[in-house]
Amino acid sequence: MIIAEIGVDMGQFPTSQHLASWAGVAPGNYESAGKRKSTRTTKGNPHIKSALCEAAWALSRCRNQRLAAKYWSLAARRGKKKALVAIAHRMLTIIYCILSRKEPFREQ
């Protein structure tokens, strides 16, 4: 479903941050007078956003995965839903690198 939404040609997105913003999983950054305001994610494609969050939730339940460990460390500090969006953002960055470089994914 993710490939159906974004396609395989990554030439339309200059960086992975542009893709994350288009998908709606880019973190908000609104600060005024030294105070952090709302950090809601951007509005984006609701189909890919839900697919990424569902995939991130499934990944969080896997054992011996680096992203699953990162999810649980973030969930302990920030909450489960914010950690879910953060992992979805990381997954989309990985997908962007896979499609733009045309290389298979190798977990370290």
More confident residue, 64 or 28: 64
Q: Tell whether 107 is covered by a domain.
A: no
Q: How far apart are CA 33 and CA 20, in angstroms?
A: 27
Q: Tell whether 55 is covered by a domain.
A: yes
Q: Tell whether 66 is covered by a domain.
A: yes
Backbone angles phi, psi at 7, to 5 degrees: 80, 180
Domain count, the chain: 1
What is the domain extent for residue 67? 2-101
pLDDT in tens, 38-96: 777 778 888 999 999 999 999 999 888 898 999 999 999 989 998 999 999 999 999 99
Q: Tell whether 38 is covered by a domain.
A: yes
Q: Tell whether 108 is covered by a domain.
A: no
- 49 C-beta neighbours (distance < 10 Å), count: 20
The per-residue pLDDT for 36 is 76
Q: Tell whether 106 is covered by a domain.
A: no
